[in-house]
Every structure is written in C-alpha cells, then in structure tokens.
C-alpha cells in the first residue's frame, strides 16, 4: 500500500524541492496539495503548484487554493527571499496565468482526504498552518483521522528568522498554529504532531557542492530548481549567512516520509512536550514555546525535534530526486 500524503505548502523555493522529493519517492502517493499563502500570495502559490506539477509530470494531481489571508492578521509575503513570483530566477509553466480557482477550498481538501483515508493519511504542513486550523474547525475529529502530522515551523531554543524570536511560518499566522496545537490538548491522541523548528531544520544547508550534485545533467525540472536555488543562495549571502540556503521543507518532507515508512533511515529524533504560541507579546508575538521542564503542568500535545542528521538527509534527498528526474548522470 502506498504512503498517502497530503501536502500543505506555499511554494516558495524550498517547498519546490519538497514537492520534487515527494513525487520522486517510489512509495509515496500524494493525495492532494493545499496552496497556503505565505512566501507569496495564495493565488500565486496556486499558480506555482500548478507549474511545478507540470514539470514533475503529474499535472492531474488534485490541489486547491486555501484561504486568502491568515486567521487574524493581514497576509505578508517574502518576495525578497523567494523572488517576485516565489521561485527565484526560475520560470514555471503558466506561472503568471490565473488559476481560476476559488479561495478557501484547501480546508475542505484536508477534511475530504482524511475522511477518504482514515488512519492512512499523513499530513505535512510546510507553510503557515492556516488551512489545517480551518479544516479542524470544519471537522474537529480530523486530528484523530490522521496517521501522522509533521509541521515545519517555530524556533524553540534558537534565534528567529523573521523577528528576533519568531520563525516565518508561525509569524505569518500564529493563531493558526496555536489552534492546531490546542486541538491536541488533553486528547490522548496516539498521533501527536511533530514540530520541526529552525533549531534543527537550519542544519540542512544547501551548499554549492550539494546543489551541483542535485542538478547535474539538467532537464526541465532540475534546471528550474537550479535557477531557484541560485536566487535563494544569493538571498542568504545578502543576509550575511554565506552562499548557502536553508532548505527546511525538503528535510521535513523526507523526515515525515521515512518516519511513516518506519525506514531504517533515521533523520531526526523528537521528544514529547507541551507546546504553545505567544499571541499577545508586544515583542514576541508568534514565538513558539516548549515547556521542557513541565512548568505549565500540561500533558504533551506534540513532539519536537531535538536532533537532525543533515548529511544523511542530503545523500538520500539527492539520490531520490535524481533517480526520478535526472536526464543525464
């Protein structure tokens, strides 16, 4: 039986890498993709997903637009990080053509997929948690239907990458992650969400050597990823981090897949913990907090990464994507 995956994302350059991995993996069946506004607008995210699906050779994969805005604040985007259209220097098929789709169907896709495959669907959130939060509002039993849930977001014992203490996905919609975590409070759920924070996803550094190893030989998809990474690495260099790129989303995708498959490939370790999100702090709104010492007296509502193996991840990621999409070796 294939590993059934629903991906909620906001492509975005590292999201594009994540989608390439998911569709390249021979044991994964992507049952749907939710376009969530974040790196660019929800509509542009949808256009990017559509273009990527064309390059990935899976144009008929179902996808839907999520909400136009976060739950309680205006949408902010990061064109300076991901480029005017969200894919750096890469151009995708139909990237500037309207999707013609209705905003808001993403939450419904979450519910429909989880209902169709109860106990089999593995959820993956690579952008803001907006549409998962809305889906839980539509169906409060959704959390019990998922086989697993991995969320890229947060900074627990680490500096932020947006404000001093906040990570971009949570900063973009703090109420959303707060509601998702609350849905797992005191439920005794066998499947706790796994939060993958900057503390460990920032270890996944795309270097020039790894980029060359990934994209050698070209082809439409790998050429697009190469151009996207050029922009992304230039941004990181301009931000004082060197000519590298933090590729959070493909790491979290590989972790979710290999954990669900009970693979021998161990990419990270996690521990159960009570998590929450600061919503009112004048300096810390959007900060994710882990109660490692149990001061709140709450039961764990999530697991959080405490280690990650970036070297093993890159070997696996590059080999997996190239096995499906490399034109020449």
Give the pLDDT band (50/70/90) at residue 234.
very high
**What is the DSSP pairing of strand 146-152 with strand 194-196?**
parallel
Q: Which residue has the higher pLDDT, 323 or 188?
A: 323
Give the residues across from 33 on adjacent strands: 7, 63
Supply 24's token pair: 């390249």
Domain 3-325 adopts which CATH fold? Inosine-uridine Nucleoside N-ribohydrolase; Chain A (3.90.245)
Closest CA to 127 of 239, 15, 294: 15
Supply 279's token pair: 């919503």
Q: 207: buried, middle or exposed (CB in 10 Å: 19+, 13-18, 0-12)?
A: middle
Give the pLDDT band (50/70/90) at residue 39.
very high
Could you give the residue ranges of the DSSP H alpha helices within the chain?
A: 13-24, 42-55, 79-82, 105-116, 130-138, 142-145, 168-172, 174-182, 198-201, 208-215, 220-238, 248-260, 310-325
Mean predicted lDDT score pLDDT of the chain: 96
* pLDDT tens, position by position, 51-89: 999 999 999 999 999 999 999 999 999 899 999 999 999
The pLDDT assigned to 188 comes to 64
Within 8 A by CB and 6+ apart from 264, the residues are none
Helix axes 130-138, 174-182, angle to 10 degrees: 40
Residue 329 has pLDDT above 60, yes or no: no
* pLDDT tens, position by position, 186-203: 776 668 999 999 999 999
């Amino acid at each position: 039986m294939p590993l059934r995956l629903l991906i909620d994302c906001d492509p975005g350059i590292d999201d594009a890498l994540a989608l390439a991995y998911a569709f390249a993996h021979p044991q994964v069946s992507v049952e749907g993709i939710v376009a969530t506004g974040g790196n660019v607008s929800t509509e542009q995210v949808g256009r990017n997903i559509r273009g990527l699906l064309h390059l990935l050779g899976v144009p008929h994969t179902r996808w839907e637009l999520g909400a136009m805005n976060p739950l309680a604040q205006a949408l902010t985007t990061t064109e300076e990080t991901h480029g005017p259209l969200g894919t750096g220097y890469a151009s995708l098929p139909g990237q500037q053509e309207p999707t013609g789709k209705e905003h808001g169907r993403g939450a419904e896709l979450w519910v429909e997929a989880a209902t169709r495959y109860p106990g089999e669907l593995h959820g993956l959130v690579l952008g803001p948690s907006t549409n998962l939060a809305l889906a839980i509002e539509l169906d409060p039993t959704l959390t019990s239907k998922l086989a697993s849930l991995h969320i890229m977001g947060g900074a627990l014992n680490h500096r932020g990458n947006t404000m001093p203490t906040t990570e971009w996905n949570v900063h973009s919609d703090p109420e959303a992650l707060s509601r998702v975590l609350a849905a797992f409070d005191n439920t005794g759920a066998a499947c706790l969400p796994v939060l993958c924070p900057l503390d460990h996803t920032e270890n996944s550094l795309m270097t020039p050597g790894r980029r060359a190893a990934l994209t050698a030989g070209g082809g439409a998809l790998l050429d697009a990823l190469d151009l996207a990474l050029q922009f992304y690495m230039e941004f990181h260099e301009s931000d004082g981090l060197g000519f590298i790129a933090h590729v959070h989303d493909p790491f979290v995708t590989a972790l979710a897949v290999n954990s669900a498959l009970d693979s021998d490939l161990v990419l990270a370790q996690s521990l159960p913990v009570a998590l929450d999100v600061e919503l009112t702090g004048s300096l810390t709104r959007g900060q994710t907090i882990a109660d490692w010492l149990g001061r709140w007296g709450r039961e764990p509502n999530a697991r959080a990464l405490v280690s990650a193996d970036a070297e093993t991840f890159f070997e696996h990621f590059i080999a997996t994507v190239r096995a499906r999409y490399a034109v020449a070796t």
